[in-house]
Amino acid sequence: MNYRHAFHAGNFADCVKHALLVALVSALCRKPAPFAVLDTHAGRGRYDLSAEAAGRTGEWRAGIGRLCGIGEGPLSPWLGLVRAAGFPPLYPGSPLLLRALLREQDRLILCEKHPEEAAALRAAMGRDRRVAVHERDGWEAIGALTPFAERRGLVLIDPPFEQPGEFARIAGAFRLLRRRFRAAVAAAWYPLKHRAPLREFEELLREAGLTDIVAAELTLREPTDPARLNGCGMVVMNPPFGFGGEAQAILDALLPRLAQQEPGAGAEVRVVADE
Ligand SMILES: C[S@@+](CC[C@H](N)C(=O)[O-])C[C@H]1O[C@@H](n2cnc3c(N)ncnc32)[C@H](O)[C@@H]1O
């Protein structure tokens, strides 16, 4: 539990994750029926990019720092929420973005295991009857808190990838959700350092018989150096109708701003397992 997202908030990987997340939840909002969202690894909710932690790495400068001027196009729904949350210097994490998209009838469940992060998250969320903050293990919460009474919604899995076995845990969570909560949209962020672990992960999903899975991925450079974050992606089971096209447009808009024309840079949405 050494990971602190404050050092990385607003970096290119957050931009990819958050822009795609807004597209996923906006798709759920197209139907009036209520939905719930479970954010299993919620973080502290809001990050001050002028604070010491963000300044020490400066990662946000190569992420949200390059996107400030954009006012239209596929990134604008997310960037509008970023500005509304007080950027700059405040940057909204997944909990604040998700809450901004909730309607009166929807619900948000946030899990954060680190006590200090969970306390900061509680403070950032304030009082909102639609939102529940839990200081608890997000993996365990997937089994305990699904299926949702609403029978529709999203489970977002965004672990720190500090420990080995995170890909296998995501595959396990997807299997569980498919069994218990067939209608759930499940989305998990993943780092792309080199291709081998990702290939194994995708194989694991297919071997488990899971279907209807896509991966939306942005690569900064050829992923050959396992010590560097060379790209990242979001794997989505049961993607909403039209998500593939929207995700590709989002990644295409991010790529020229976030990547530095290194060999192997690219943006793609690919089918991991057929419908
Ligand atoms: C990548 S950050 C989350 C960022 C957040 N989802 C966002 O987009 O703004 C991962 C978070 O998971 C927390 N965490 C680590 N292990 C956890 C666990 N087993 N259950 C819940 N939270 C955990 C960490 O303390 C950290 O705040």
pLDDT tens for 245-262 read 999 999 999 999 999 989
Residue 225: what pLDDT? 92
Determine the residue type at 82. Answer: V
Residue 61: what pLDDT? 97
Reply yes or no on whether the pLDDT at 1 is more than 80: no
Cα separation, 247 vs 55, whole angstroms: 30
Residue 68: what pLDDT? 86
pLDDT tens for 108-162 read 999 999 999 999 999 999 999 999 999 999 999 999 999 999 999 999 999 999 9
Q: Is the CB of 158 under 6 A from ligand 1?
A: yes
Q: Of all atoms in ligand 1, which is nearest to the CA of residue 18?
A: 8
Cα separation, 259 vs 252, whole angstroms: 11
* Averaged pLDDT for residues 165-179: 98
Pocket test for ligand 1, best of 108, 112, 133, 170 (most atoms within 8 A of CB): 112
Residue nearest to atom 8 of ligand 1 (CA): 94
Calculate how far, in angstroms, residue 72's C-alpha sits from the geometric centre of ligand 1.
30
Contact 216, 272 (CB under 8 A): no
Residue 148: what pLDDT? 98
pLDDT tens for 202-240 read 999 999 999 999 999 999 999 999 999 999 999 999 999
Q: Is the CB of 210 under 6 A from ligand 1?
A: no
Residue nearest to atom 4 of ligand 1 (CA): 43
Tell me the pLDDT of the chain averaged across its residues: 97
pLDDT tens for 55-83 read 999 999 999 999 988 999 999 999 999 99
Reply yes or no on whether the pLDDT at 4 is more than 80: yes
Domain enclosing residue 89, as ranges:
5-273
Pick from 212, 215, 133: which is nearest to 167 by CA? 215
Residue 36: what pLDDT? 98
Pocket test for ligand 1, best of 4, 113, 145 (most atoms within 8 A of CB): 113
* Averaged pLDDT for residues 79-96: 98
Total count of residues recorded for the chain = 275
Residue 261: what pLDDT? 86
Q: Kindly report the CATH number assigned to the domain that includes residue 130.
A: 3.40.50.150
| Number of domains the chain is built from | 1
Q: What angle do CA 106, 159, 8 make, to 5 degrees?
A: 100
Q: Of all atoms in ligand 1, which is nearest to the CA of residue 21?
A: 8
The question of whether 158 is a catalytic residue gets the answer yes
pLDDT confidence band for 92 (50 / 70 / 90): very high
For the chain, percent of residues with pLDDT exceeding 90? 97
